[in-house]
Structure 1
Amino acid sequence: MENVSKINTNLILLGIVEMEHLRYLYATLAILIYIATMMLSTMIVYIVWSEESLHEPMYIFIGNLVVNVMFGNSAVLPKMVTDLFFGLSTISLPGCLIQSFCYQSFGSLELFTFTAMAYDRYLAVCYPLRYPTLMTNGRALQIVFAIFVFVFLSIGVTVVLAARLSMCGVNINNVYCETMSLLRLACGDTTINDIFGTIWTMTVVIGCILVVIYCYIRTFLVCLKISAEAYQKAIHTLVTHIATFFTFMATSLFVIFRYRLGSGSLSTIAHVAISITVSAASVRLVKQLSKEVTSIFNSRRRKTKIINDKKSSIIKKSREIFPPSRQFPVLLEDSAFGTGGKKRDEEGRR
């Protein structure tokens, strides 16, 4: 097979070619998904950023989650929309590597952030008295920073290993690039890539899933022992997190293992359907998170309004009982700042 990596650096996205007959419909669908995701995500980030009562570790992780969704969708959907509208279906090899890095980083960042959220809820429910010291805002930001550093370094190694290979094909059976797509086009030995990718993926995925399952089981068992009102509130938050996590994992695992099914197991149409499903799932994920954040935000605002109203009514009643003109007249006369105090000072000087 001829080495084409130095002859032609443009790769063909067969998924875009497959969508040509209904390209305007797919482009419109992609635009709607992208706009909906960006608007909901921006709203969540704005609420978490501007509302001081939401400056807590859980909402720091939720904010990081939706920022990652914006990052991942921006790596794929704008390029796909442009290709569909202008009838393009190619991508350069450097562009393919950059897109692979961004999209795979997005998936890994989401997985680690979900794991951090599960651990945060575990500490909040199982260790409520120690939680303010165990998980502070500063520690949550440190966890987020560590996640970004680890993911960017590990995905960077994966992309560098793919970039060193010589390509003997140009057809990518997908609508976007990822390193597994490039490995299928490689001429040389891909053993190192396969070993590193398999070990890293299995270790991270299995490790994170086990941590999440352990944290949520322990949290659920503790919720059974608390009061009915606290139980309902904790279970609602727990179910929301579990639903969003497994929605993400169901689509992600399918994407991860689809290339393990064999070269002829999935058609290009199946890859297109999977990609659209993943994008739609990200909208559902952000929608669930937005409902949770807005409901908690509105609940806290109502509580704050009730407290302020009670304070105002107490102050009003106190003023009715003790009008300003009748409050403490003796103290004013006898104080050092009153007229009685001034007279005594003058008599003392005489």
Structure 2
Amino acid sequence: MTNSTQVSYFILAAYFDTGLFKYLYFMIVMSLYICIICANLLLIVVICVNRSLHEPMYLFLCSLFVNELYGSSGLFPFLLLQILSDIHTVSAPFCFLQIFFVYSYGSIEFLNLAVMSYDRYLAICYPLQYNSRMTYNKVAILIALIWLLIFLANAFSLPSVVPLQLCGNIINKVYCDNHSIVKLACYDTTAINIYGLIVAACSIFIPLLLIFYTYMKILKVCFSGSKQTRQKAVSTCTPHLASLFNFSFGACFEILQSRFNMNSVPNIMRIFLSLYFLTCPPLFNPVMYGLKLSKIRVTCKSLFTYIRY
């Protein structure tokens, strides 16, 4: 039987020697991180300071942008240090902390998008009852539940991985991943894998089912409603659907890569796609909503005009 141990650090084997190019990669990643921080902070400030944007849709958007900052902060500072480092190791406590960041970020993203689809469903299918059904108290409760439920779920699931006796400490990724650590265990982890699938189903597939249901209802109203109703649906639902598809693509590939053998895919492509759901949505979402939603666009223009003068 292979000797087991409680490891104190992990080796991130997906990094490769880039020589002097590491400084170029550092500048590219740093620029991307700065853009993500500036874009999301800008829209958070715009929504918070402008009272006309204190509507349910924009408050849910604010929660989404806060989550983009949260998820990015769990990856980018660590990634920047690893790019400059010649030894790609990470301590076990920090590795588990990063797992908590990454997984809670992904779960909050899906749940937030599901609540936003529910909000659009009420606005389009029940426009006359919308204000009574989606009150400010309800918005506050939904946002608080999104964050609280996900934090509690991840806080309870992480202890199942921390005490594992491992037969190795090599993770074939550029950041820490829950399933990669489970695969290092010296004994059968079927129960942990089943529990992980249940958590994934609750945090991903249940929100997706809610989104699918709401959009079926929205489409039904659009086909039977007026031209004005269809225009309203298109203008408010297009950025939401774009965000959903963009994030779902990255998350699905990450799940497939973690659960199945993807050695046939080139290493650089695996690295890029494993980082996709942590890098592209945080930059894509504020740009998409900033350009598509007229109220945010007009407010941003007014803010820049005020700063200029």
Scaled by the length of structure 2, the TM-score of the pair is: 0.89
User: What are the ranges of 5 or more consecutive residues in structure 1 without an aligned counterpart?
Assistant: 303-350
Q: Pairwise mapping of residues 108-123 of structure 1 onto structure 2 (< 5 A)?
A: 108-123=107-122
Distance in 2, matches of 1:185 and 1:211, equals 35
The alignment status of 1:288 with 2:285, answered yes or no, reads no
- The number of residues matched between the two structures is 299
Please give the secondary structure, in 2, of the residue aligned with 1:16.
coil
Scaled by the length of structure 1, the TM-score of the pair is: 0.79
Partner of 2:49: 50
Distance in 2, matches of 1:246 and 1:16, equals 28
Distance in 2, matches of 1:20 and 1:108, equals 36
Distance in 2, matches of 1:32 and 1:184, equals 34
Cα deviations across residues 216-256 of structure 1 (Å, max 9, x unaligned)? 12112213344434432321211221111111111111111
Give the alignment's Cα RMSD to 1 decimal: 2.2
Distance in 2, matches of 1:23 and 1:156, equals 35
Partner of 1:194: 193
CA contact (8 A) 2:235 2:292 kept: no
The alignment status of 1:143 with 2:131, answered yes or no, reads no
Greater RCO, CA 8 A, separation 6+: 2
Displacement of 1:47 after TM fit? Answer: 0.6
**Distance 1:69-1:20 versus aligned 2 partners, 3 A rule:** farther
The alignment status of 1:12 with 2:11, answered yes or no, reads yes
CA contact (8 A) 1:216 1:238 kept: no
Partner of 2:131: 132
CA contact (8 A) 2:124 2:229 kept: no
CA contact (8 A) 1:258 1:266 kept: no
Partner of 1:205: 204
Please give the secondary structure, in 1, of the residue aligned with 2:167.
coil
Distance in 2, matches of 1:300 and 1:286, equals 14
Cα deviations across residues 247-288 of structure 1 (Å, max 9, x unaligned)? 111111111121222374556434312134331343122311
Distance in 2, matches of 1:298 and 1:274, equals 31
Displacement of 1:165 after TM fit? Answer: 0.2
Displacement of 1:201 after TM fit? Answer: 1.0
Answer with 165-174 or 279-288: which moved more.
279-288
Please give the secondary structure, in 2, of the residue aligned with 1:3.
coil
Report % sequence identity.
29
User: What are the ranges of 5 or more consecutive residues in structure 2 without an aligned counterpart?
Assistant: 302-309
**Distance 1:191-1:296 versus aligned 2 partners, 3 A rule:** same
Q: Pairwise mapping of residues 54-203 of structure 1 onto structure 2 (< 5 A)?
A: 54-203=53-202
The alignment status of 1:2 with 2:19, answered yes or no, reads no
Cα deviations across residues 65-86 of structure 1 (Å, max 9, x unaligned)? 1111111111011111012123
Partner of 2:304: none
